[in-house]
Every structure is written in C-alpha cells, then in structure tokens.
Amino acid sequence: MVERRPALTLLSHLILVLGVLIVAFPLYIAFVASTHTADAIVQAPMPLVPGAHLLENYQAALTGSGTGAGSNAPVSRMMWVSLVCAVLIAVGKIAISLLSAFAIVYFRFPLRQLFFWAIFVTLMLPVEVRIGPTYQVVADLHLLNSYAGLTVPLIASATATFLFRQFFLTVPDELVEAARIDGAGPMRFFRDVLLPLSATSIAALFVIQFIYGWNQYLWPLLVTTDEQMYPVVIGIKRMISGGDAANDWNIIMATAVLAMIPPALVVVLMQRWFVKGLVDTEK
Amino acid sequence: MSQQKRVLFRSGWLPWVLLAPQAAVIGMFFFWPASQALLQSLQQQDAFGLSVDWVGLDNFRQLFNDSGYLASFRTTAVFSLLVAVLGLGISLLLATMANRVVRGAMVYRTLLIWPYAVAPAIAGVLWLFMFAPSIGVVSYGLDRMGFQWNHLLNPDHAMALVVAAAVWKQISYNFLFFLAGLQSIPRSLLEAAAIDGASPWKRFWTITFPLLSPTSFFLLVINVVYAFFDTFGIIDAATQGGPGKDTAILVYKVYYDGFKAMDLGGSAAQSVVLMAVVVVLTVIQFRFVERKVNY
C-alpha cells in the first residue's frame, strides 16, 4: 500500500467479502439442497439452512437408488470414469509431449520444422470446431463407449509440447556436453537430467490437464451412449429431465457437489502449481 | 531466447521414434478430421449417406443466406461481448482491491479461484437450479420483489442466465492474471504519483490502468475464445439454446445441426467458418504478444 487510507482499506475488504460471498452463493445453495428431501426443495421458497438428510442423499446418489424422472445411474461409477479419463488425458498428453519436445529440441533431422509447425497448428483449433469428422473417425475405429475414445482425441493438442519445448530451450547446453563427456546417450540424458529438471513444469501441467479432462462435456456427450461409460459431468445433465418439480433436485445437487470436489481440491491444494500451470500454458 | 541448441545429439532413427506417438495422435484425430471437415463443407450428402455430390461453395452460400445462422452469429457476438466485458470488469475490480489489502490477500485469492475447477456444465446446472422459475431461490426472491423471472419464455432472461453462469466461472481466471499484472507494476511510479498528490482514483486511471493494458488485451482475447467454445456445457445444461434459438451460439449450432438435425454438409461448413474465426483470433493474439515483447 502506498499510503494509509483506512476508509479505502475497509471498502476494499467489503468489496472482496461481497465478491467472495457472491462467488460462493451457488455452491452454498447446491450444498443446502443436497441435505434436504426432494419435497422440501420443490416447495418454494426452499430452505436456506442445511437439513438433516445429507448422508442418505449422498448415499442415494453414489449407489444410484434415486427415483427422479431422469437417469438414476450410480454416481460412484461415473466418478470412477471421470477419474480414469482425467488421469489418462493428463498423463497421456504429458508423456507424448515430453518425447516429441525432446526430439524437436535436441535433434536435427529432415522435416523438423514441418513437424514443429504441424504441432503448433493444433494449438489453435479446439475439439469443439471439428466434432463431426472426429466423431466419424472414432466411430470407424469402434472406439465409442471406450476409454480410448473418450481420451485419445482430447490428447491430440499441442499445448504441452509447446510448453516443454520452451522449457527445454532454457536448459543450459553445458548439461548436454557434460552428459556426453560422461558417455551418456540421449535417452540416458533425457531420463536422468531432463526429466528431473522438468518436474515442476510437469506438476503444473498435470493440474491444468486434470481439470481440463475432468470437466470435458461436449466430447463425452457424443461418444458415450452407455450408462456405464458416462463421466459425472454428463451423468448429472442426464438426471435433469422434464419440469422443475419432476427431478430429484436433492440427488442432482449432491451429484453436483461430488463432481466439483476432486477438481476443486486439486486447485486449492496445489494452488502454487495451478497458478504456474495457468501462466505457463498461456504464454 | 535461442531457437536452437548448440549441442545436439546425433541419431538417424531416434527422433522419429520419439515423435511417432504424437504424430500418430494428431494425424489421426486432428489433421484427418480437420481435412474431412474441409471436404465435407464442399459436399452435399443425402440423409441416408447413400450419395455424395460436390456442390462447391453452395453450403457456405446457403449458410450466409440462412437467417437462422446470421442470428446465431449475432447471439454469439452479444454473448461473448457481455461475458468478456462483465467478466473483465468484475475481476479487475476484485483484483485491484485484493492488491490493495495487505492482510488476507492470499485468503481472498484462494476463495475466489475455485470456480475455475467447476465444469461448465455443472456451472450451468447450479445457475439453472437457482433461477428455475417455479422452485429456484433467486427467481423466488425476484418474484417477491415484483419481478417475473422466466428464462424459459423470455429470451433476455435466458441470455442473462447463461451470461451470469459463464462470467461466474471465468472470474477466477481473469482475477489471477489481473492480480499478477497488478503486482508487477513498479511501486515507485505509484509512490511518486502519491507524493505529487494524486488520489487513488486518479492513480488507478492514469498509471495502473494503462500499464495493465497488455494483460487486459490478452485476457480480452482469451475471454472471447472462452465464450465462443468453452461455454457449450453451460448453454446445453441451462437453456439448450432456447427459448427458440435465442441462446444458440455458433458451437451449439454446429452440434445441433450435425448431430440432431443430421445436416452434415451444413455442419461441416459451420465448422470451417469457426476454424477461420479461431485462426483470426489467434493471429490477433500473436501480433499482440510480439508487441508486448518489444514493449
């Protein structure tokens, strides 16, 4: 602070608290709704303090024993599908990107520039603009309703490759020279020098990609038709059908809270890497 | 930064092996589908997939003569403008305040960034629940104040709902970047201005705001891209593009026409138009980034 202005500081805190409250309000309402019976919620106005049905609602959601008008698939299965997809997308993207960035930075070979630009172009076009043809490819390969179909097309982007390339370019050349004098081959150098040096970048990228994978919506909506393969974000949408009162809103909101917990935990607990990951991937 | 390493490994085959997985994935799931979209946009397929005709640019001509498509363009423009302006304004206010307070800045940051982790579709569901005309908390409150809220019938209400959900989700991202930008402004400039008697209000508009312009511009592009592509989940969960087609943004229309109405040629042509939009946005962003480097 440049100078002391108590009134202004007070105002700052007021605005911030107000901001925090408004941002948290939808979450609070969802949590409250997940602790009441479905009947209590549809009688407007719904209660604004938590009720006594927390455990049974979450249990009903997880085991799929709800009785709403829409889908009543068990959420525990959906959470598992989401987790597998998010981890596969994050790990897969990081693994193939580390290898290709290593090749592009540390080797000189024909068509190197072409490869670099080919990868670079994929930065621009999100999967949303090419859903139709990508869907056809996945359908032709019989990958609908499979983990491969859910994850591999989302791995096809170059954010991570680009990031690792930038990072490798900053690694001092002396390290390569030293490794070569010691008789280490390229893969040895990659494993024993480059990978340990990239640890923080990998962690940062993992956080961002995990959230990206967990929150996918349009793509899983297209390639999953089997209840067994719904990620939780899709599953919750399929629980809502028909009019306002026909849905088990308590179960839906319990599912929403469950679906938010893993990525929110990752963001809050790994905040340092999360911030680094955001800043790195956009530069 | 040098673009090339001085010391390199030598191997005829190793780089190809290292590149193979990435090349296979982007070839099969990126370049092949993208080229198919280009081809299909020049073709007309009948509903059963039995015959394919080359129709040149007919699909595009049809598209731009289709009042529904032009309306979707307008909807997208209004939507992304509102999301960007409101999202940037609110986050800038919050970031400026968080930058002012000495105590608790990190606590505020933690409490403000978690919506980034919420999936767009979940954000749509949460806001839909609060504003559901017959049972929602907020719609009930509005009703008590004499305001009839019904986003199922009133297009303006539907637009307000999806904009609110989209802004809510994006505030965390903008906030982080604005806070980082504010913290990198040299304090000596602000102190000098304070000694010269400039009020905080004046300091903000004559020093902070201009120095933040690279961050703001960067965020503007990012927010427009976000509103164009990442908000599909919000729209599908909250309004399904309704009432009528009043919140059907371009991405929603690609999905609807291609997968619900089964108009593959038209959908592919829309994909190509969207790709062009992304390329233009990316070019704008990179020109700007270059300028920032020279800055």
Whether cis (ω within 30° of 0) applies to the bond prior to B243 is yes
Question: Is some CB atom of chain A closer than 8 A to the CB atom of B237?
Answer: yes
Q: Are A170 and A111 in contact (CB under 8 A)?
A: no
- Residue in chain B closest to A254 (alpha carbons) equals B126
Number of domains forming the structure of chain A: 1
Which tokens belong to B266?
A: 């038209």
Contacts of B276 (CB under 8 A, 6+ apart): none
- In B35-54, the residues whose Cβ lies within 8 Å of chain A are 36-37, 40
Is the peptide bond preceding residue A153 cis, with omega within 30 degrees of 0?
no
**How high does pLDDT run on average in chain B?**
84
Domain count, chain B: 1
| Residue scoring higher pLDDT (A112 or B91) | B91
B235 in Cβ contact with A112 (< 8 Å): no
Q: How large is the average pLDDT for residues B184-211?
A: 88
| CA torsion through residues B187, B190, B195, B196, sign | positive
Reading chain A (283 residues) residue by residue, the pLDDT tens digits are: 567 788 888 888 999 999 999 999 999 988 988 888 877 877 767 778 887 888 888 888 888 776 665 667 788 888 899 999 999 999 999 999 999 999 988 888 888 888 888 877 777 677 777 787 888 888 888 888 889 888 988 888 777 888 888 889 888 888 888 888 888 888 999 999 999 999 888 988 898 899 989 998 888 888 888 888 888 888 888 888 755 666 788 888 888 999 999 998 888 888 888 887 777 766 5
B121-136 pLDDT tens trace:
999 999 998 888 878 8
* Residue B151 · residue B239 · CB < 8 Å: yes
Which is more confident, B154 or B167? B167
pLDDT at A92: 94
Q: Is the CB of residue B283 less than 8 Å away from at least one CB of chain A?
A: no
pLDDT of residue B82: 94
User: What's B13's DSSP letter?
Assistant: S
The secondary structure of B135-152 as a DSSP string is T-HHHHHHHHTT----TT
pLDDT of residue B136: 82
**Residue B15 in contact with partner chain A when CB distance is under 8 A:** yes
Q: Residue A182: inside a domain, yes or no? A: yes
Q: Nearest CA to A37 among A68, A6, A63?
A: A68
Assigned token pair, A281:
């991937």
We report the CATH number of the domain holding residue B70 as 1.10.3720.10
Q: What is the pLDDT of residue B9?
A: 82
Task: Please write down the long-range contacts of B256-261, taking CB distance under 8 Å and 24 or more positions apart.
Answer: B258/A131, B258/A132, B259/A131, B259/A132, B259/A135, B259/A222
Is the predicted pLDDT of residue B93 greater than 70, yes or no? yes
pLDDT per residue as tens digits for the range B20-68? 898 888 888 888 888 888 887 787 766 566 677 777 777 788 888 888 8
Is residue B28 a part of any domain in this protein?
Answer: no
pLDDT at residue B295 is higher than 70: no
- Distance from C-alpha of B134 to C-alpha of B117, rounded to nearest angstrom: 29
Q: Do A96 and B22 touch (CB under 8 A)?
A: yes
Q: What contacts A261, CB < 8 A, 6 or more positions away?
A: none
B177 has a pLDDT exceeding 70: yes
Q: Which domain holds residue B217?
A: 58-294
Contacts of B12 in chain A (CB under 8 A): 109
Contacting residues of A for B98, CB less than 8 Å apart: 12, 16
The proportion of chain B whose per-residue pLDDT surpasses 70, expressed as a percent, equals: 93
Determine, yes or no, domain membership for B91: yes
B21/A contact by beta carbon, under 8 A: yes
Burial label for B233, CB within 10 Å (0-12, 13-18, 19+), is buried
Contacts of B142 (CB under 8 A, 6+ apart): B148, B149
Of the candidates A250, A223, A246, which has an alpha carbon nearest to the alpha carbon of residue A234? A223
Residue A91 lies in a domain: yes
Q: Which residues of B touch A271 (CB under 8 A)?
A: 109-110, 113
Radius of gyration of chain B, Cα coordinates, nearest whole angstrom: 24
Q: Which residues contact B25 (CB under 8 A, 6 or more apart)?
A: A96, A152, A155, A156
Interface test with B, best of A2, A94, A194, A224 (most B CBs within 10 A): A2
**Taking CB atoms and an 8 Å limit, are B237 and A240 in contact across chains?**
yes
CATH number of domain containing A112: 1.10.3720.10
Sign of CA dihedral B163, B168, B172, B178: positive
Question: From CA A48, how far away is CA A25, in angstroms rounded?
Answer: 11
Closest Cα to residue B112, out of B167, B162, B175, B164?
B175
Amino acid, single-letter form, for residue B140 = Y
Q: Chain A contact for B102, CB < 8 A?
A: yes
- Residue A271 domain flag: no
Domain range for A90:
76-223
Q: What is the pLDDT of residues B210-259, one digit of tens each?
A: 888 888 888 888 888 888 888 888 998 888 887 878 888 888 888 888 88
Are the CB atoms for B129 and A33 separated by under 8 Å?
yes
- Domain annotation covers residue B134: yes
Residue B294: per-residue pLDDT = 37
Q: Which of B194, B187, B255, B182 is nearest to B219 (CA)?
A: B182
Q: Which residues of A touch B121 (CB under 8 A)?
A: 215, 217, 233-234, 236-237
Does position B291 have pLDDT exceeding 60, yes or no?
no
Q: Is B98 on the interface with A (CB under 8 A)?
A: yes
Q: Do A107 and B14 make contact, defined as CB atoms within 8 angstroms?
A: yes
Which one of A1, A164, A218, A222 makes the best mutation probe of the B interface by having the most chain B beta carbons within 10 Å? A218
Contact across the interface for B137 and A45, Cβ inside 8 Å: yes
Please report which confidence band the pLDDT of residue B164 belongs to, taking 50, 70 and 90 as the band edges: very high
DSSP assignment of B194-205 equals: HHTT--HHHHII
Phi and psi angles of residue A52, each rounded to the nearest 5 degrees, phi first? -105, 10
Q: Which residues pair with B54 in a beta bridge?
A: B43
C-alpha to C-alpha distance for B33 and B271, rounded to whole angstroms: 11
The answer to the question of residue B26 being in a domain is: no
Do residues A205 and A163 make contact, with C-beta atoms less than 8 angstroms apart?
A: yes
SS3 content of chain A, % helix, strand, coil (to 5): 75, 0, 25
Phi, psi of B111, deg, nearest 5? -75, -15
Q: How confident is the model at residue B3 (pLDDT cuts 50, 70, 90)?
A: low
Given a contact cutoff of 8 angstroms between Cβ atoms, the answer to whether A147 and A224 are in contact is: no
A190 close to A168: Cβ distance less than 8 angstroms: no
Q: Which residue has the tokens 């699909």?
A: B59
Give the residue among B194, B181, B183 at the shortest CA–CA distance from B102. B183
Cβ distance A237 to A203 under 8 Å? no
d(C-alpha A152, C-alpha A143), whole Å: 10
Residue pLDDT, tens place only, B57-71: 777 888 888 888 888
Q: Please determine, for residue B290, whether its predicted confidence score (pLDDT) is greater than 60.
A: no
User: Is ipTM > 0.90 here?
Assistant: no
* φ, ψ (nearest 5 deg) of residue B179: -60, -45
* pLDDT score recorded for residue A86: 93
Task: Work out the minimum CA distance from A46 to partner chain B, whole angstroms.
Answer: 7
Q: Taking the alpha carbons of A202, A203, A206, A208 in that order, is the dihedral positive or negative? A: negative
* Dihedral sign from CA coordinates of B215, B221, B222, B223: positive
CA distance A155 to A96: 9
Cβ <8 Å between B251 and A102: no
Nearest CA in chain B to A2: B191
Residues of B in Cβ contact (< 8 Å) with A215:
117-122, 233
